[in-house]
Structure 1
């Protein structure tokens, strides 16, 4: 039986990266096929936190409302608790995911989109469902076997896991989004740095009504320190909210140097009861799974016509909540570039920018997630747990912080500093929104990169400097608010200018026609279609009223001009041909 297929793009994998690629490609009208070895989407709620940048992408792709309808709202995410058990001693709390009153303004000003918590089991069907409705051809139970590249395309062999039948799919380009043990990345020889399997962890998904223990301190994460644990003498477990307040997942460690444990229901219930601190609460186990903590990232994401993304190229623990977000952002970055090349409106060189722009981001989040694990050390030290093996002594040390003694006062001070350090794990605004790309798809304007006035990982610094994400401000149209991000995207370039720069808009129309690309121009000013309601754009644009800001389809600034050029059309033509590698 022969069933060889052809397509423009073959996506291998249907998780956050593969599903995100499918949705973006389908929205852009790119012919593609998705294959996944699984029979359906995610069966466990692994990833969950969806940050503002990813919500902006969903907004552009038209699914933000569907995601938010099933997500746990922002205000319920913020009381990250450290305790000996949910029913036991509360050691401290950290306000997280920008719910601290001092951070709410940063969060609200930065984006038109809120963050939210939606488990992967609910997010993936939304993404895949919309992709399929827009033209994605998705083949479940279809396993990647191997590939061969040539000058014109890639031949990929797959196997139907139901029938065992093997067949080939011929594609012009391949996207490898096949997870942390990526066979595609291995087969094309992507170079990696770091190490796999540093430690072992288990996920236990369960149902239990814990509302009486958490409603007064709502959060998506509760960290549990338990002296006497099997791993390392002290266990740091997590009880994670899946749906408030009766669906949960707990995370617990195991010794990866030993044979993996057989986590049956009896063992799983015992672990849950210990972390909750009440063995009378009814618990229903839904699933268990084992996974490893990794610290590995690819230094290159492309090999010829094959591009890898997501966990295939950045492998790390879930600290910071950046994994699935970065995966979706990988897909969004690449999709428009593939679309432009396949349409013939960009040269092949545009695809080189994917590697240059996204590999540094992957490295950053891998190192940052692993560093966040190390930042638990000061908490252990403050509580007197380092170097101690006797569980009873550990418990006494934890309790000792409550005494009215100089020693206890010092312990409380150290604990306060240790908990403040965790701000870096749970408030990652600068990492989420502050990515500044450097590649051939960005044209410098001759100005130095703006300096950071606050910590660049904790705080987002809006700028129109080429390569940065377009700042969000509210503009006016017919008396109603519209975000700059609602004017950007949609698979097209756009240009912002002011009343004194109207010639840029005329030039944009001419250059768009000459190059055969879509380029929307917006003149922002009084009496124009778009008005600067609060003068926020005047403050954010960093160019004169007669200057312009050119924005790519992924809402990153491609180039800007401080003032009106002598020949605006010639200047725009030069810039766009450079960005699109059409030299």
Structure 2
């Protein structure tokens, strides 16, 4: 390791794929600079875009980042997956998401290269960039940071001192290896084939298709360009490598789908690959972190890989920004691993189950599987659950060390407030729990720009969505007076300064959610008000009695409480804020 330090940076990010770009954008957006390096000569080619699908939870990250519109305009919208036995449709798994679930009730299909290009353009607008053809070769970590050796394509070495090191450098991560993290798992023994090709058939282009052949599954995903599809031989029955042989094999599989009129033309890209299934034992070691493929590798079944990496980045970025800005204790970063590693493990288990289910070879087993899938596909509750899982809206950090709640037990509620208190406590338990994603409820107000209805996220993340706003890492405090009679008048003298001390004014923004049109409580309130004339927000948050919710910068619930107790809230805030 060189004795001379050529540069000092706050954050060094290795790897400029979707995870690294998202992390750099999120840090820049929150007023923190970083050095982003990648050994490639430039963004990945569209001919080499393994990741395609973008799910609702990731689009919500991109929405706060300001690029969701661009991605939506360039992508193909898909509404689910059709499951076929030859040309016979067994079941279609259409996404069934309620209007209050998300503003993105679909799957978007966009080659990874285009997603990276949009992210890079956003990063450059934020004043950042990438040092291409620059490889992280080694580093030495200590208590205060890391000293890293970088090497350019011309073989020139330089030494960088960084307070924090983030590995977004993929399956062969130098950061993961240097931090001594163990990657548990293995790889599937089969080899899989893929190609992007022109195809003429009667498959609908607004959904992916999984065709269950006698050899195994054949997958077709519609690309943004009309008539072009990503074809995948997931049978594991062929070990060819040459592009011509790969295309011939895919034509062989598509040919028997005669009822769908499958005719595969020329391909612009082919690939022969194996699938790894690994999750590291820790996502953090001292001053270093791993994100995306550096932390977890799994089957592309369900299209979760890139999405999980972007969400890793969104989870880590706001915490790291608060620590660097000296707004939070370093202990805040200890929550990254217990929040995100269980998600990576769950994705691996889920994709494993999908792979095993579709790999069935025995005819009676396949027949039973098809019958079960067809039956389950007709049950609305099952379809809804699958839709929320695919959209990644079921992710919860309920086991995190930085989420909490304060509420009276049944007996305490009755003693303090009588039967009304017991009812309010039951109601609160129907609302989002600490660690859950904030419900993006449709509001009664109309967006003056689009003419469509506003959502709760439009209000909560207003500062994020305003390109002229100062960089900020802000939590939102939603205060619900409650819908039970007299619940608001009991809080007539509600003093927000008792909850939010002056030094946190710019980091915790309180919003009073006003129930019903005739609400007369909180007359002295001088802060922001959000009308809830039909009590829709109150119902969704279980707010029959007065309560509060603290929403994190990444859109998850950090804390909830009822009854309203300033001392309890301030005690929680000490864990998060300096």
> Structure 1-normalised TM-score?
0.80
Alpha carbons of structure 1 residues 504 and 22: separation in structure 2 relative to 1, 3 Å: farther
Distance, in Å, in 2 between the alignment partners of 1:131 and 1:311 is 21
Unaligned runs of 5+ in 1: 85-89, 228-233, 387-410, 449-460
Distance, in Å, in 2 between the alignment partners of 1:474 and 1:64 is 18
Unaligned runs of 5+ in 2: 410-428, 465-472, 482-487, 520-527
Match of 1:230 in 2: none
Question: Which residue, out of 263, 269, 274, partners 2:242?
Answer: 263
Distance, in Å, in 2 between the alignment partners of 1:83 and 1:544 is 50
Match of 1:180 in 2: 171
Pairing 1:486-525 to 2, within 5 Å after superposition: 486-489=458-461, 490=464, 491-499=473-481, 500=488, 506-507=496-497, 510-511=500-501, 513-515=502-504, 517-525=506-514
Pairing 1:468-479 to 2, within 5 Å after superposition: 468-477=436-445
Question: Which residue, out of 435, 455, 463, partners 2:395?
Answer: 435
Pairing 1:8-407 to 2, within 5 Å after superposition: 8-43=10-45, 44-73=48-77, 76-84=78-86, 90-98=87-95, 103-105=96-98, 108-115=99-106, 116-161=108-153, 163-206=154-197, 208-210=198-200, 212-214=201-203, 217-227=204-214, 234-252=215-233, 261-264=240-243, 266-277=244-255, 281=263, 283-377=265-359, 380-381=361-362, 383-384=363-364
Alpha carbons of structure 1 residues 366 and 359: separation in structure 2 relative to 1, 3 Å: same
Match of 1:571 in 2: 568
| SS of equivalent residue, structure 1 residue 444 | strand
Match of 2:424 in 1: none
Alpha carbons of structure 1 residues 224 and 476: separation in structure 2 relative to 1, 3 Å: closer
| SS of equivalent residue, structure 1 residue 40 | coil
Distance, in Å, in 1 between the alignment partners of 2:241 and 2:446 is 63
Match of 2:434 in 1: 466
Match of 2:425 in 1: none
Alpha carbons of structure 1 residues 226 and 169: separation in structure 2 relative to 1, 3 Å: same
Distance, in Å, in 2 between the alignment partners of 1:546 and 1:48 is 44
Distance, in Å, in 1 between the alignment partners of 2:387 and 2:408 is 27
Alpha carbons of structure 1 residues 424 and 274: separation in structure 2 relative to 1, 3 Å: farther
- Contact 1:464/1:549 (<8 A) preserved: no
For residues 237-262 of structure 1, the C-alpha deviation after alignment (integer angstroms, 9 at most, x for no partner) is 22222225322222225869x9x643
For residues 52-74 of structure 1, the C-alpha deviation after alignment (integer angstroms, 9 at most, x for no partner) is 1111111111111111111212x
Alpha carbons of structure 1 residues 441 and 373: separation in structure 2 relative to 1, 3 Å: same
Distance, in Å, in 2 between the alignment partners of 1:503 and 1:56 is 36
Question: Which residue, out of 470, 485, 495, partners 2:457?
Answer: 485
Alpha carbons of structure 1 residues 479 and 134: separation in structure 2 relative to 1, 3 Å: closer
Match of 1:551 in 2: 551
Alpha carbons of structure 1 residues 104 and 280: separation in structure 2 relative to 1, 3 Å: closer
- Contact 1:237/1:250 (<8 A) preserved: yes
- Contact 1:4/1:167 (<8 A) preserved: yes
- Contact 2:407/2:562 (<8 A) preserved: no
- Contact 1:505/1:521 (<8 A) preserved: no
| SS of equivalent residue, structure 2 residue 76 | coil
Superposed CA RMSD in Å reads: 3.1
Distance, in Å, in 2 between the alignment partners of 1:529 and 1:478 is 16
Distance, in Å, in 2 between the alignment partners of 1:252 and 1:301 is 33
- Cα drift, residue 112 of structure 1: 2.7
- Contact 2:219/2:234 (<8 A) preserved: no
Match of 1:445 in 2: 406
| SS of equivalent residue, structure 1 residue 283 | strand
- Cα drift, residue 517 of structure 1: 4.6
Alpha carbons of structure 1 residues 424 and 270: separation in structure 2 relative to 1, 3 Å: farther
> Structure 2-normalised TM-score?
0.81
| SS of equivalent residue, structure 1 residue 243 | coil
| SS of equivalent residue, structure 2 residue 191 | strand
Distance, in Å, in 1 between the alignment partners of 2:376 and 2:42 is 40
